[in-house]
Amino acid sequence: MNDSDLAGALAAACGRLGLDVKPDAIQGLAAYAASLWSWNERLNLTRHTTAESFAARDVADSLALVPHLAAGERLLDVGTGGGVPGVILAILRPDLKVELADSVAKKARAVAEIVKESGLRIPVHAAAAQEIVAARGKRPDRFDTLVVRAVAPLEKLLRWFEPLCSSYGRMLVIKGPRWEAEKAEARGKGLGKKVSIRRIASWPIPESHNESVLLEIKARAD
């Protein structure tokens, strides 16, 4: 499928799903998907390798973040893998200052090439996100928001980032239907004392009776 055909297929899939994506963004998403799927033949970067599944899961999840991001926010995509949601957010919202991080070096190298092949300029860090956040915390270019999708249970995320909660603005975490159980498990291990965890959005998971949720995690006010 060439880029033009893929763009048409993506536009049709987004239309069927009721996803509001502008035509210029569709072109960018098609270029990204084509590169991602090509690299996926060498590395396991995504399970969403059709226009329909890419739109239903990757684009839909990324779009759910958009209303919660202010103009010009500086974002770090934690454990970006193949670039979702960071790359898609950069395409949907060119005003955002997006950076990507993955501690697996070969994945970081792959996504850096995917970004380049997609015609984008997005910094990619081959390092653990918590190291980047800690180093950036006192600088003017500290991150307003860390975006997280399909990386780790809440317990691990809180172990990594709760001690650093004064070094970034907040976390926006996409979770599935087990989020409340994960929150309880984390609380049971003494985590979540320095941060608040709030559900701010939800949307249905296609072909499922379950839903995805968006959690906002940020430092508690003193």
Read off the pLDDT band of 1 (50, 70, 90): low
Per-residue pLDDT tens digits for 81-116: 999 999 999 999 999 999 999 999 999 999 999 999
Pick 206 or 188 by higher pLDDT.
188
Per-residue pLDDT tens digits for 11-50: 999 999 999 999 999 999 999 999 999 999 998 899 999 9
Helix (H) / strand (E) element for 160: namely helix 154-161
Strand order in the sheet with 145-149: 124-125, 97-101, 74-78, 145-149, 170-175, 211-219, 195-204
Cβ-contact 64, 212 below 8 angstroms: yes
Per-residue pLDDT tens digits for 176-186: 999 999 999 99
Domain limits, the chain: 56-219
Percent of the chain with pLDDT over 90: 89
Beta bridge partner(s), residue 124: 100
Q: Give the separation between CA 100 and CA 77, rounded to whole angstroms.
A: 5
Q: Give the separation between CA 172 and CA 156, rounded to whole angstroms.
A: 15
| The pLDDT value given to residue 120 | 97
| The pLDDT value given to residue 2 | 65
CATH of 56-219, picked from 3.90.1300.10, 3.90.1150.10, 3.40.50.150, 3.40.640.10, is 3.40.50.150
Read off the pLDDT band of 221 (50, 70, 90): confident
Q: Give the separation between CA 111 and CA 156, rounded to whole angstroms.
A: 24
